[in-house]
């Protein structure tokens, strides 16, 4: 027979302790009390264990978290260093590379582009390390944007370098007649007495006195846009378009050795010295045009003259008071 629980009660009539069997209410109270004691003991045991003891899984997770925090801090330091290097590259780009080509600095709004839109870090919020991760993500995104912008800047600098190479080839940078072939520098750029009309006129080129048949050279790379003969004025003459706003004119030739539309290189023979057109003696009349304006050719003989030769050429070109054409 199953054991029944009972409780003791003092009977004042008989003056004795009596055993009274549990009713339903007593059983419920008894069960609740036992469960409460069990929960208190279990909860206390769990608290003590969690507070003073560490499971292998917890230790592993703690080491992993510490490792990740250390790596995150190191990555942040490396990104700071990368930002400093990128800033130095940007300064070199503006202060050196672009200044060489004489162009404006890369626009700051393109070099340091902003980012708009909704909260891109929304999915990263709500964790213990959210702020650290969001900060790293934002710094990384900024570096990526700046690297892309710097790459575009370098692409434009590379294009400038390519154009600069073409420019250096195109500038009329040599004398059209060799020094050893010159008899004298007949006339330079400026006001001179016209040999036929005997009036003071602006002379827009330089006259190189040389024997008939002396070779004439293209002074820069370009394309022949005119090769013709007139019975007065320039006589047999050639115009070469070099690009970048430069054109050169070679006049009074005895013979033209190139044709219209032909590509020429600096140093190619394009004709021979003569005295055709309005001319009083064999010579080459040579002009340099920049952006449609006639300029002093003496400013461009920097490829094949030493400083002493250049000074001598300037003296000779300035000393004559009369041109040959």
261 or 83, which is more confident: 261
191 or 277, which is more confident: 277
pTM of the model: 0.53
Give the start-end residues of each E strand in 257-320. 263-264, 269-273, 283-290, 293-295
pLDDT value of residue 1:
45
**pLDDT tens-digit readout, 170-221:** 889 888 998 777 766 656 776 666 555 555 667 788 888 899 999 999 999 9
Sorted by where each begins, the domain ranges of the chain are: 6-52, 56-170, 179-319
pLDDT of 263 strictly over 60: yes
- Distant-in-sequence, close-in-space partners of 227: CB < 8 Å, separation ≥ 6: 237, 238, 239, 256, 258, 259, 260
pLDDT value of residue 207:
87
pLDDT value of residue 218:
96
**pLDDT tens-digit readout, 88-115:** 777 766 666 665 565 566 666 666 665 5
215 or 1, which is more confident: 215
**pLDDT tens-digit readout, 21-59:** 767 777 778 788 888 888 888 888 777 777 766 667 777
pLDDT value of residue 286:
94
**Is residue 124 a contact partner of residue 137, using CB atoms and an 8 Å limit?**
yes
**How far is it, in rounded angstroms, from Cα 94 to Cα 101?**
11
**Is residue 250 a contact partner of residue 234, using CB atoms and an 8 Å limit?**
no
**How far is it, in rounded angstroms, from Cα 274 to Cα 84?**
65
Q: Which residues pair with 256 in a beta bridge?
A: 271
Q: What is the mean pLDDT of the chain?
A: 77
pLDDT value of residue 82:
80
Alpha-carbon distance values, 260 to 239, 263, 270, 284 (Å): 9, 9, 11, 19
**pLDDT tens-digit readout, 66-86:** 777 788 888 888 888 888 777
Write down the architecture of domain 179-319 according to CATH.
Distorted Sandwich (2.70)
68 or 6, which is more confident: 68
135 or 1, which is more confident: 135
pLDDT value of residue 252:
94
**Is residue 201 a contact partner of residue 247, using CB atoms and an 8 Å limit?**
no
The top-scoring range by mean pLDDT among 47-61, 154-168, 279-293, 303-317 is 279-293
pLDDT of 243 strictly over 60: yes
Phi-psi region of 64 (alpha: psi -120 to 50; beta: other; left: phi over 0): alpha
| Least confident stretch, 68-72, 221-225, 275-279 | 68-72
Q: What is the mean pLDDT of residues 288-310?
A: 77
How confident is residue 302, by pLDDT bands cut at 50, 70 and 90?
low
Q: What is the mean pLDDT of residues 111-134?
A: 61
């Amino acid at each position: 027979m199953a054991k029944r629980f009972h409780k003791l009660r003092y009977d004042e009539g008989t003056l004795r302790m009596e055993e009274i069997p549990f009713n339903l209410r007593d059983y419920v109270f008894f069960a609740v009390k036992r469960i409460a004691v069990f929960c208190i003991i279990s909860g206390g045991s769990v608290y003590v264990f969690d507070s003073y003891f560490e499971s292998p899984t917890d230790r592993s997770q703690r080491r992993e978290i510490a490792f990740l925090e250390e790596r995150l801090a190191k990555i942040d330091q490396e990104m700071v260093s990368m930002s400093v290097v990128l800033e130095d590259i940007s300064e070199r780009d503006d202060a050196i590379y672009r200044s060489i080509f004489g162009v404006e600095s890369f626009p700051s709004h393109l070099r340091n582009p902003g980012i708009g839109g909704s909260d891109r870090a929304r999915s990263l919020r709500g964790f213990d390390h959210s702020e650290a991760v969001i900060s790293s993500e934002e710094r990384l995104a900024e570096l990526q944007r700046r690297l892309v912008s710097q790459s575009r800047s370098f692409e434009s600098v590379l294009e400038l370098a390519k154009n600069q190479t073409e420019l250096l080839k195109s500038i009329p940078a040599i004398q059209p007649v060799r020094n050893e072939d010159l008899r004298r520098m007949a006339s330079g750029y400026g006001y001179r007495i016209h040999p036929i009309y005997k009036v003071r006129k602006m002379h827009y080129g330089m006259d190189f006195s040389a024997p008939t048949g002396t070779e004439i050279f293209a002074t820069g790379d370009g394309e022949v846009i005119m090769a013709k003969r007139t019975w007065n004025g320039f006589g047999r003459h050639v115009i070469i378009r070099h690009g970048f706003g430069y054109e050169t004119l070679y006049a009074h030739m005895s013979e033209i050795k190139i044709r219209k539309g032909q590509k020429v290189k600096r140093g190619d023979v394009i004709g021979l010295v003569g005295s055709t057109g309005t001319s009083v003696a064999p010579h080459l009349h040579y002009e340099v045009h920049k952006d449609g304006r006639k300029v002093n050719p003496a400013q461009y003989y920097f490829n094949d003259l030493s400083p002493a030769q250049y000074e001598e050429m300037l003296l000779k070109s300035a000393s004559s008071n009369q041109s040959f054409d």
